[in-house]
Amino acid sequence: MKKRMTILLALLLALSVLIAGCAKKDDAKSDSKKDDEAKVEESSEQADDAKVDAETEKAETEATDAESAEESEASTDSKSDTKKKVAIVLPVDHLALNAARDAMMEVISAEFGEDNVEFIVKNANGDDSLLNSIFSEVVGSNPDIILPIATGPSQVAATTTKEIPIVFSCVTDPVEAGLTPSWQESGENVTGVSDMADIESIIDFALQLYPETKTVGIVYNSAEVNSQVQAALCKDILDEKGLAYKEGTITNTSELQQVVENLAVDVDIFYSPTDNDVASAMPAFQQVANKHNLPIFPGASTMVESGGTGTVGLDYYDLGLQAGEMVVRILNGESVANNPPETVEKVTMILNQDQVEALGIVVPAELEGEVEYVTTQEQ
């Protein structure tokens, strides 16, 4: 009996151990399952976080791209807004003024790019009565700068606007013309480059070729301020040299031929200032002068190329380049006040080879190395 009880207790103990082992195994499985679930949940959370981060990064990238696009568009708009509007007004069509115009346009286009400059070019075609309406139209278009060529257009421009910067060219005496208070300071909104000629050098050059000269015929438009100034200077110089002179004045190009005919019988040579009307009618001037075997010594090299005999003068293309540089400085932010009027220092002794041959001129040997020869160009 006692033996059976011992066996029974052993069986109960073994069963108890077995049950405890199973319970522990189930707990382990449960813990393992929980760990697996926790790992899955953590992995899911990490995946969600990664997805959120990716979406956030994508949104930020898209926002940055959009901002860059807006900045690029704004930059393009800003560049478009900086397009320069430049108005140019000429009184008449002739070589000197056209050369100055072309040179200025080249300098401005080179600085800002052809696509970034809008040129408005007007020409009165010899009718000064049109200048007021031309400048009213020009000012109404609100250009960044106005470039009047020659004295007449410059004076009208200065009276039409006090706000828009004005850079004149081919103006002989801006002070006498009322454009600037002096040669050392600009006007309120006006400055530019003068074409003041060295008249004494021109007369001296003429006398080297025609040493027997006693009387000089002075031909110019009496309505042009720049021509009046140069004619007065020429008369003073001739007085100092003990030479006589006779004046022949015109008010338009149609009068030139008859005026020259009337003077031709009394003079030995002709002088003409840098006069726009005379310059535009040089072929007619040359025709009459050649008929009387008389030379013409004008104030500009382009007038020699149009039929004049010779001069000591500036090149109007060079003048235009210099004026163009001034325009660029002002368009880039410099004030008109910091750019006083300028003159062109470079001058050249010029002879028209066609006229030298036609008039039988003997050029002194001492001048041969200094003279630049040109031929007559059609206007």
| Per-residue pLDDT reduced to its tens digit, 321-343 | 999 999 999 999 999 999 999 99
Give the three-state DSSP class for 43.
helix
Q: Are 196 and 173 in contact (CB under 8 A)?
A: yes
DSSP line for 65-102: HHHHHHHHHHHHHHHHHT-EEEEEEESS--HHHHHHHH
| Per-residue pLDDT reduced to its tens digit, 147-173 | 999 999 999 999 999 999 999 999 999
DSSP line for 228-257: HHHHHHHHHHHHHTT-EEEEEEESSGGGHH
Q: Reading across the β-sheet that carries 166-171, which strands appear in turn?
A: 117-123, 84-90, 145-148, 166-171, 190-194, 342-343
Residues 349 and 150: their CA atoms lie apart, in Å, by: 23
CATH code, 199-313+347-374: 3.40.50.2300
Question: Does the pLDDT value for residue 55 go beyond 50?
Answer: yes
Q: Please state the rounded mean pLDDT for residues 240-260.
A: 97
Predicted confidence at residue 117, as pLDDT, reads: 98
Predicted confidence at residue 32, as pLDDT, reads: 47
For CATH 3.40.50.2300, list the domain ranges present in the chain: 82-194, 199-313+347-374
Q: Please state the rounded mean pLDDT for residues 18-27.
A: 50
Predicted confidence at residue 378, as pLDDT, reads: 74
Predicted confidence at residue 3, as pLDDT, reads: 52
Predicted confidence at residue 71, as pLDDT, reads: 47
- 366 vs 64, residue with greater confidence: 366
> Residue 367 has which token pair?
């001048």
Q: 249, exposed or middle or buried, with CB in 10 Å at 0-12, 13-18, 19+? A: middle
> Residue 89 has which token pair?
């007004």
Specify the CATH number for 82-194; select among 3.40.50.1010, 1.25.40.20, 3.40.50.2300, 3.40.50.10800.
3.40.50.2300
DSSP structural state of residue 166: E
Q: Please state the rounded mean pLDDT for residues 189-197.
A: 95
The bridge status of strand 244-250 relative to strand 296-298 is unpaired
Q: 90, 89, 88, 84: which is closest to 109 by C-alpha?
A: 84
> Residue 50 has which token pair?
């990664």
Answer positive or negative: Cα dihedral of 361, 367, 369, 374.
Answer: negative
- 67 vs 336, residue with greater confidence: 336
Question: Does the pLDDT value for residue 241 go beyond 80?
Answer: yes
Q: Please state the rounded mean pLDDT for residues 295-309.
A: 95
Q: What's at 10, amino acid-wise?
A: A
Percent of the chain with pLDDT over 70: 78
Kindly report the average pLDDT of the chain as a whole number.
85
Question: Does the pLDDT value for residue 110 go beyond 90?
Answer: yes
DSSP structural state of residue 149: B
Predicted confidence at residue 20, as pLDDT, reads: 52
Residue ranges of the alpha helices (H) in the chain? 2-81, 95-112, 131-140, 151-160, 199-209, 225-240, 256-264, 276-280, 282-291, 301-305, 316-331, 353-359, 365-368
| Per-residue pLDDT reduced to its tens digit, 68-109 | 444 444 444 433 458 999 999 999 998 889 999 999 999 999
The bridge status of strand 348-352 relative to strand 310-313 is antiparallel
Give residue 216's Cα distance to chain centre: 40
- 61 vs 281, residue with greater confidence: 281
